[in-house]
Amino acid sequence: LNTAFALIALMAGKYPNEEPIRRGIQLIVSRQLTTGEWKAEYATGIINNMTVTFSAYKFIFPIWALGMYAKIYNNPIIF
């Protein structure tokens, strides 16, 4: 999830070097489960003393990063 956040920020900021972005995309693709989802490895946030998990985040941000990469770099993301 944090990798996806970082990639979205780098691409939105027009980071000039594609290589670290491509490696991050490869990491996201490599961690996708056979079910098509990504494992949530920890809680998404903390409010007061409680951890919070937003179930959709593990889908939204990796898919967003993959889609941004495909659009910006004209790459269908086939590794």
Q: Where are the domains of the chain?
A: 2-72
Prediction pTM value:
0.81
Given 3-state DSSP classes, what are the helix, strand and coil percentages for the chain, each rounded to the nearest 5?
A: 50, 10, 40
pLDDT at residue 53, rounded to an integer? 67
pLDDT at residue 31, rounded to an integer? 93
From the number of C-beta atoms within 10 Å of its C-beta (0-12, 13-18, 19+), residue 29 rates as: middle
Q: What is the pLDDT along the chain (79 residues), one digit of tens a residue?
A: 789 999 999 999 999 999 999 999 999 999 999 998 888 766 566 666 666 667 787 889 999 999 999 999 988 766 5
pLDDT at residue 50, rounded to an integer? 66
Which ranges constitute the DSSP H helices of 31-76? 57-72
Main-chain phi, psi angles of 46, to 5 degrees: -135, 130
Q: What radius of gyration do the chain's Cα atoms show?
A: 13
